[in-house]
Amino acid sequence: MATEKWVFMVTAQTPTNIAVIKYWGKRDEARILPVNDSISVTLDPDHLCTVTTVAVSPAFDRDRMWLNGKEISLSGSRYQNCLREIRSRAGDVEDKEKGITIGKKDWEKLHLHIASHNNFPTAAGLASSAAGFACLVFSLAKLMNVDEDPSHLSAIARQGSGSACRSLFGGFVKWTMGSKEDGSDSVAVQLADEKHWDDLVIIIAVVSSQQKETSSTSGMRESVETSLLLQHRAKEVVPKRILQMEEAIKNRDFASFTQLTCTDSNQFHAVCLDTSPPIFYMNDTSHRIISLVEKWNRSEGTPQVAYTFDAGPNAVLIARNRKVAVQLLQGLLYYFPPKSDTDMKSYVVGDNSILKEAGLDGASGVENLQPPPEIKDNIGSQDQKGEVSYFICTRPGKGPIVLQDQTQALLDPETGLPK
């Protein structure tokens, strides 16, 4: 190892994911081992992702981390577990250009700087910890030349945040609960990549909420301890649904996919309600969005849109194709119009080229929208202004990548401090 004050770094980007068969409940709190398998769709990192730069330098005197520009503590066991596991697998690294050589054993003595940034609000309840821990583990594995496939890395990311293991892959991903006590077989595997079913369009309604929410960590612990329905769900219901969902994805069977996605989301929230004290993640706006989708699906005779809700009120809506997504967005904007001073391009973000297709790129577009016929009678009028903060239009996306463009690094290549 050279003694000069070099900084060696890697920047990576990792997607977030949304579970369509839910993870709720751990059988081992420390190792983060779940009570059932889960399946997720990876969301396009162009619209929702975490970017993390990890750096190593003999000049660093301790491990440090900055999240969205603010320094945070790495002392928690979740960070420590990930750092320990990755360090123990570190390999030899050589950068001839810079004249840097790091031997396998040097990593124990070297300190790290980590800077991480989400391109979406952390507080929006959009699985920021999933993308975050996946990106931490992925970028460190690249930095330290860890010779492990993504499934092995997923078992490390899992120890940071359970659902993070599913963000190591693009497309459709299964987290197998495993049976070993040490958790080594509790890993994510890819069911199909993002090209396999590229008709799907995903619209996320970020729902406004005053309520302080129960964190998913404490929520699922309380469910395991008190819900009399959770074990029945985990043992009797989910195993069958996992097989059915794998089939539905394999066959691009949107009707089955929707039926499984919606019922599983509802059952997860049912278990939350069966917890003592009960946990409410969905609110009246979430319920209104479900009613809207359910009525539309029934009126069409065949499912057009699937919905799923994580540990918060935001709706993740999966439309069977672009045409349906355009109609869906029109319906959503009819019922949840922006406040009058809101620019449409900041109300519909992500892939907002959809606005033009929906005839909503102009200022007066929303006011001219007509109510979808099947739901006219039930949701009175446009009095839901302000219930949705904004919409994100996205699609199934790819897994983690290294960003080669040094301008995207979050740490200064000279000082190793945030730019």
- What residues make contact with a second copy under the rule CB under 8 A? 210-212, 226, 228-229, 232-233, 236-237, 259, 262-263, 266-267, 269-271, 273-278, 280, 283-284, 287, 290-291, 294, 298, 378, 380
User: Per-residue DSSP letters for 250-270?
Assistant: HTT-HHHHHHHHHHHHHHHHH
Helix (H, G, I), strand (E, B) or coil at 321: coil
Number of H helices, E strands in the chain: 11, 19
Give the nearest distance from C-beta 216 to a second copy in angstroms.
18
Least distance CB 314 / a second copy (angstroms): 16
Task: Choose between 378 and 406: whose C-beta lies nearer to a second copy.
Answer: 378
Query: Least distance to a second copy from the beta carbon of 272, Å?
Result: 8
- Closest approach, Cβ 284 to a second copy, in A, equals 5
Nearer to a second copy, 107 or 281 (CB): 281
Nearer to a second copy, 44 or 264 (CB): 264
For a second copy, give the closer residue by CB, 61 or 236: 236
Amino acid at 226: T
Please identify, using beta-carbon distances, which residue of 262 and 409 lies nearer to a second copy: 262
Q: Whole-number minimum distance, CB 1 to a second copy, in Å?
A: 52
Cβ contact 233:36 at 8 Å? yes
Query: How far is residue 95 CA from its own chain's centroid?
Result: 33
* Smallest gap from residue 366 Cβ to a second copy (A): 22
- 9 phi and psi, to 5 degrees? -145, 160
Which two tokens mark 400? 């983690």
Task: Indicate the residue among 154 and 259 with the shorter CB distance to a second copy.
Answer: 259
The CA distance from 84 to 82, in Å, is 6
Shortest Cβ distance from residue 50 to a second copy (Å)?
31
Distance of closest approach, residue 398 Cβ to a second copy, in angstroms: 33
Helix (H, G, I), strand (E, B) or coil at 42: strand
Within 10 Å of residue 395's Cβ, how many Cβ atoms?
24
Please give the single-letter amino acid code of residue 3: T
Which is closer to a second copy, CB of 297 or CB of 394? 297
Length of the chain in terms of residues written: 419
Q: Least distance (Å) from a second copy to the CB of residue 383? A: 9
C-alpha 22/C-alpha 174 separation (Å) is 11
Type of residue at 138: F
Report whether 48 contacts 350 (CB < 8 A): yes
Q: What would the two tokens of residue 94 be?
A: 């050589």
Q: Are 319 and 292 in contact (CB under 8 A)?
A: no
CA distances from 166 to 135, 204, 261, 330 (A): 11, 19, 17, 32
Q: How far apart are CA 340 and CA 177, in angstroms?
A: 47
273/401 with CB nearer a second copy: 273
Beta-strand (E) ranges in 37-177? Answer: 38-42, 49-57, 64-67, 70-72, 93-95, 100-102, 111-118, 172-175
Helices 254-273 and 238-250: angle between axes, nearest 10 degrees: 150
Distance, CA of 97 to CA of 74 (rounded, Å): 32
| Least CB distance to a second copy at residue 228 (A) | 5
- 55 vs 271 by CB, closer to a second copy: 271
Closer to a second copy by Cβ: residue 239 or 359? 239
